[in-house]
Structure 1
């Protein structure tokens, strides 16, 4: 990359600042200026009722009426008079107001002289918000100041100095775009902002009729992947695309099909038109860190499932949107699609041959052709959710197992075995427990097929992908392709030329281009559906719901913008109650004759309940840290005497860094490990854990598995010791099982029949472990309860597919 793309701060006029110059201070604000709200309570009430609780209009009116009745005797009133007053206040918010606009679309081509199809005369409204304003609000969000990359970069491991990929700007695509942009001398010091789009048709209700919507979302490549996945307003809805309908008689008409497809591209081009000038001429924009910078935009990857990718790439279904492999042999090596090559083919090859031999629809123009440096075929993002989880795993492999059972055992036999598999997989956790659930009912190569594919999924889902991990990804893919042939040999699968499975072959390239795939998965837009479409629809009257949904989204944005504004000015510290108590205390102190006298005793009698927090340290803090003896060799009489209080706990919380799992914006995740004699008034629950027994060895080599029977703590010589009583398991072998890739463990016994019990410091507990029964070929007894599993089975798998944290530990 040349020196021009440096993301250097500037002033409001665009003049570059000296290195280290402070940002332009924001406009001054009084600490009690809650405009348009009167105070903090009013804002928090509006946020609670409209954003969190999503209370209906009628219920809000009832609540405020009751609230008013309780305050009337104090000559006071609630924050809002009624729902109308609440909405009016939110609507008057001065920040976060990006208004909804619309334009009409209609067929303008040739029409037949007689019997004109109804769809040719229909017009449709496309509603949208200016993405230029939305993106500027994202860039100015102070919450992203430390979670944003201002320029492309290449990252290398500190261990072996090899390349690694994480957030979007660490990929080669952003780097290459910056190289192209920097050839223009006028781009000195600017910031490159990739515009990430996503769309997905959805249905909010099946029972009440045609409630289909086509939302369009936008994000920016500068924010870190964890911010985009946490849905911390880093993904915003900018449009509802039109969905033309017609009768079955005309649905297959080529003219209608072309109109429907081109309408999609033309609508997106229209929505994005205000961004086009900023893609060639830099503009000055304020960022969340307070600095202004020169910005130039560019169309980045597009998040979509396969059906949407076909529409985006203007190709025939069953073909690949990224490469030119023939639909009947997708896994054959071939060149990648490019805009120049496609346009050359369209000029030289007939429309029929384009369709049959190249899978290209000749008379469609992708929206990317209207923007500089954009090629839709190179902007198709990886999609873990639809390509891997829903596509390959659920729709392909899961269905193939069913066909295999039917082929070998007949209908009744297959149904019986399927029932047994369902009992083994009683949690319906699919990928997490499906592999051991089918073991014993399918050939070994089928088990190995699932293992290879699951390992591929967990590797590409990793938050940081290294060069060595790319080798592991390719190895897992090669094993998957090798072992899946068993389905072909037994006559279950006629072809492996399936676009979603074929997409796996592009993941290594896509990681190099766009960084870790978890930042561009369609699960991000599908989750956004809930807040942007489904919940606003439920809050509507259902009649002409879209207009009401637009208003709801606008109000939600204003409330979110107000929260960011108030938070950036330090006005949301603590809770409403705690801040009110502090204010009253200050008034009380100021009213005393001597304001410097010590505080009076607290009369609230607040008791802090203890909690056990498990860290990820591997060392044990003992009373005698220098004693090299094994605990089993220490005589009871030589131990220090303790006659104090012991506190017993039913659970302990574990807080750890888990960026590859579902977690908050800071990638921190909290889980609870239970050791409870009665769980939900039914039976005991004793969770299993990874225990760090050798901090010098990575992975399972330095770990043992134990079942926690009790958590307790005591204080000895003014030092607190949080401990756990555990029952040990032994590893069955020196490595994982060859077929499943999971470690096998068995209960440990001291003298052949007494369970091996120990007391350990909670700091040696690394993380919760999920054990899966090794079922074999035997059916599970009908009367067996899940809480009897530890006693009923002699061996267990340590489930490395429970989550990504476990996958790293137990691989």
Structure 2
């Protein structure tokens, strides 16, 4: 069995409970003077890159300040940027240098540029990944099976999937590997263009990670995904661009480059290689070629199949294009032996001229290593390129070109009229983009369904809704048998519903590889865990720090050489920070740390002193980090809502009542205080009906603090990952947002207790926040929110599958209430139920929550709300 048993640095297993080998405690800040110097270098290189001239000016300003303060001989950090770069180059850890390999070919290709491959030593990169102490609580040493109930297996990170379990069993057949640790090598390749205008500014980066690291670390942009290669991009004259020999040459160069990249790891795929792990123990690692992150075009390239065919199965790309028998290297070799190259191409979709790089490594088969891709297969593929276009074509076919375009214009106005929401990208002109990004497509998914409801039949709306549910469930951080079964049912329903487009003449067939990829999702989730840890979103996001940002900082002359040098220095800085952190040299804020070291602040024994140094924003960050650490330890915290650092204004209660147009404000606050002072009294829940004489007295001249925003922190691992799966969002309640229109956000409020009745949604109600108020009473401060209630309708909308709510009215007037800030769960999003109403051209999105009578509770605005409301 592969039990990942600790050993010494020579590979000899240790007795149980043996502590890890201690680190060298003689570490210093060398080549830096101290922590402040190191963090200044990080700021200059990483956070705020400066030109040589600007940095020289900054350093001279600092020198002038020191001279004025009587320290003329003190050198402020460094005297030039070159000194800073020399200091980074002197860092001894994290050095995974690049080497350049030239590819030679003498075939009949005509004039072409010689391909150049830039690669790192993959073994050194794996050592860096495995030995990073930041992953100590986010690292799996052995494959495992996890069950939430009998016959209900749960998969999340890669080591919980069946593939890792099977590979560990296969490897452990060799007695020399027993007791070792499986290290799956995750690769991802994706071509990117940095500048179209300047021409030939495209790069082909390849990234590496390991399957032991949790998905949340790969999604949160930590140093868990490292650029390891820039693949060659062969060019030739236009005469030979479409030549078959040249296309074959490009694919052969591609696979040869990947083979060369992994060759340093090949000996460790059969014989254990001793590595230090995040917990500081040494273990005997066995490397295994693992999942390959790629979009469809990249999958065709890497698997050696013909375009329009599937790289995982032998399904024929015709009509429904359903799942076929599994492809394997052995099956491909047999087909090549028994069939002519033409038959292999036409009948089985095999490119006879391509030998996948995985054939050079033990236990590796590229056909089982292709991962499900949420970004390109689901979001940009099936949703944006297929369903959205099909819906628009459907409208034009049914209503004609002229009327159809009017309806499409109204859909665009509906999309632009959507109320704002934290993190929601707006569409001022609807869908009229010249170039769509992945973020644009994700944002359209959040608002598209209500926009088309009423303009297309229920079957079309339900088809889109079914796919959205499939997409959102696939994005969850963990899956069990129930969620995977739900995806399978949604897929069957989607296949049934999409025939509406075929019946209307929008499509003749569904010969679409990216839709065919959906049938592999359930099986691949069982194999590799949640798709959000092996999605091309991760490699796409790495393009910015690894390629685009260094390119912008280069002088555009031989930019790749400059990019590679910047990546080496980035790795050195990251490794230095990890090394300093491992030895406890980076704790807390740099200023408070310096004060402690100079004994100017007795913060080491009294945390309140640290709070005196930190401003309110830093205290908010400290709370977020505390909750994140609590979540990372497995104890999921309750949602926390805190008011903004500073009040918008402080005024007497009667003045605040006039500003907020709430003449009963003092009365509502008195009833609120009664409820807060009688939390153990069940009658306090109905404080609105309590006799006012029983409520605490609050003078009309009491000074109230009014806030225009609050911050909600809650556990939402399905969304963009922060440490521990925590998410932070702003809830705004301001009469002038960005000095313009008013913005009053809507929230979900937890009524507490067993408050589940006809007007609630699982014990929660929707409210719109009109002000956040801090009320002083009897030496304490009570934080509350003035809200307007919304009531849900009896049934979920059959077409969209969303709850519909409407403002609660009493005698024709809105119902307002005062609630504790702590009862707010998080923000929610409402979209108008347009029906067949046309949105005027002059309609402004800030009026959306006031102009309509009914609203969808938008469950697609983020993944956490979908999981909460689905």
**Please, what TM-score do these two structures have when normalized by structure 2?**
0.87
- The yes-or-no answer on 1:440 pairing with 2:415 is no
Q: How much has 1:695 moved relative to structure 2? A: 5.3
- The yes-or-no answer on 1:636 pairing with 2:659 is no
* 2:98 alignment counterpart: 100
- The yes-or-no answer on 1:310 pairing with 2:282 is no
Q: 1:150 to 1:418 in 2, by over 3 A?
A: same
Q: How much has 1:697 moved relative to structure 2? A: 7.9
* 2:173 alignment counterpart: 183
Q: How much has 1:151 moved relative to structure 2? A: 0.7
Matches within 5 A, 1:321-340: 321-329=311-319, 331-340=321-330
* 2:133 alignment counterpart: 142
Q: Do the aligned residues in 1 keep the contact of 2:413 with 2:841 (CA within 8 Å)?
A: no
- The yes-or-no answer on 1:13 pairing with 2:10 is yes
Q: Do the aligned residues in 1 keep the contact of 2:309 with 2:317 (CA within 8 Å)?
A: yes
* 2:43 alignment counterpart: 48
Q: Do the aligned residues in 2 keep the contact of 1:287 with 1:293 (CA within 8 Å)?
A: yes
* 1:459 alignment counterpart: 473
Q: How much has 1:494 moved relative to structure 2? A: 1.5
Q: Do the aligned residues in 2 keep the contact of 1:616 with 1:764 (CA within 8 Å)?
A: no
- The yes-or-no answer on 1:541 pairing with 2:551 is no
* 1:36 alignment counterpart: 31
Instruction: Give the distance between the partners of 1:558 and 1:616, measured in 2 at CA.
Output: 38
Structure 2 residue matching 1:710: 3-state secondary structure: strand
* 2:857 alignment counterpart: 798
Structure 1 residue matching 2:748: 3-state secondary structure: strand
Q: Do the aligned residues in 1 keep the contact of 2:745 with 2:827 (CA within 8 Å)?
A: yes
Match of 1:761 among 799, 820, 825: 820
Q: How much has 1:47 moved relative to structure 2? A: 0.4
Instruction: Give the distance between the partners of 1:617 and 1:547, measured in 2 at CA.
Output: 47
Instruction: Give the distance between the partners of 2:827 and 2:360, measured in 1 at CA.
Output: 52
CA displacement 1:127-166 (0-9 Å, x = unmatched): 1101110011111101001110001001111x66621111
Deviates more, 1:685-694 or 1:125-134: 685-694
Q: 1:603 to 1:313 in 2, by over 3 A?
A: closer
Q: Do the aligned residues in 1 keep the contact of 2:640 with 2:714 (CA within 8 Å)?
A: no
Structure 2 residue matching 1:420: 3-state secondary structure: helix
Match of 1:729 among 790, 796, 801: 790
Instruction: Give the distance between the partners of 2:104 and 2:755, measured in 1 at CA.
Output: 66
Instruction: Give the distance between the partners of 1:523 and 1:799, measured in 2 at CA.
Output: 24
Runs of 4+ that moved beyond 6 A:
601-607, 609-614
Q: 1:288 to 1:605 in 2, by over 3 A?
A: closer
- The yes-or-no answer on 1:165 pairing with 2:158 is no
* 1:592 alignment counterpart: none
Q: Do the aligned residues in 2 keep the contact of 1:798 with 1:810 (CA within 8 Å)?
A: no
* 1:371 alignment counterpart: 361
- The yes-or-no answer on 1:653 pairing with 2:719 is no
CA displacement 1:33-52 (0-9 Å, x = unmatched): 21111112221111001111
Q: Do the aligned residues in 1 keep the contact of 2:323 with 2:520 (CA within 8 Å)?
A: no
Q: How much has 1:645 moved relative to structure 2? A: 4.5
Q: 1:37 to 1:163 in 2, by over 3 A?
A: same
Instruction: Give the distance between the partners of 1:54 and 1:510, measured in 2 at CA.
Output: 41
Q: How much has 1:330 moved relative to structure 2? A: 5.3
Q: Do the aligned residues in 2 keep the contact of 1:283 with 1:296 (CA within 8 Å)?
A: yes
Instruction: Give the distance between the partners of 1:708 and 1:35, measured in 2 at CA.
Output: 53
- Unaligned runs of 5+ residues in structure 2 are 417-425, 428-442, 625-636, 642-672
Instruction: Give the distance between the partners of 1:210 and 1:280, measured in 2 at CA.
Output: 41
* 1:526 alignment counterpart: 540
Q: Do the aligned residues in 1 keep the contact of 2:382 with 2:515 (CA within 8 Å)?
A: yes
Q: How much has 1:460 moved relative to structure 2? A: 0.4
Instruction: Give the distance between the partners of 2:779 and 2:867, measured in 1 at CA.
Output: 37
Q: How much has 1:805 moved relative to structure 2? A: 1.1
Q: How much has 1:412 moved relative to structure 2? A: 3.3
Q: Do the aligned residues in 2 keep the contact of 1:320 with 1:330 (CA within 8 Å)?
A: no
Q: CA RMSD in A?
A: 2.5
Q: Do the aligned residues in 2 keep the contact of 1:726 with 1:760 (CA within 8 Å)?
A: yes
Structure 1 residue matching 2:735: 3-state secondary structure: strand
Matches within 5 A, 1:142-541: 142-157=133-148, 162-329=152-319, 331-426=321-416, 427-428=426-427, 429-541=443-555
Q: Do the aligned residues in 2 keep the contact of 1:655 with 1:669 (CA within 8 Å)?
A: yes
CA displacement 1:571-624 (0-9 Å, x = unmatched): 2222332222223335x99xxxxxx9x99x999998758989995389x98321
Q: Do the aligned residues in 1 keep the contact of 2:709 with 2:772 (CA within 8 Å)?
A: yes
Deviates more, 1:697-706 or 1:432-441: 697-706
Structure 2 residue matching 1:425: 3-state secondary structure: helix
Structure 2 residue matching 1:700: 3-state secondary structure: coil
- Unaligned runs of 5+ residues in structure 1 are 590-595
Q: How much has 1:783 moved relative to structure 2? A: 3.1
Q: Do the aligned residues in 1 keep the contact of 2:639 with 2:715 (CA within 8 Å)?
A: no
Q: How much has 1:450 moved relative to structure 2? A: 0.6
* 1:773 alignment counterpart: 832
CA displacement 1:237-288 (0-9 Å, x = unmatched): 0010001112232122221111111110011101110000000000111111
**Please, what TM-score do these two structures have when normalized by structure 1?**
0.93
Q: How many residues align?
A: 787
Instruction: Give the distance between the partners of 2:639 and 2:43, measured in 1 at CA.
Output: 36
Structure 2 residue matching 1:727: 3-state secondary structure: strand
Structure 2 residue matching 1:656: 3-state secondary structure: strand
Structure 1 residue matching 2:736: 3-state secondary structure: strand
Instruction: Give the distance between the partners of 1:16 and 1:243, measured in 2 at CA.
Output: 46
Deviates more, 1:169-178 or 1:336-345: 336-345
Deviates more, 1:39-48 or 1:160-169: 160-169
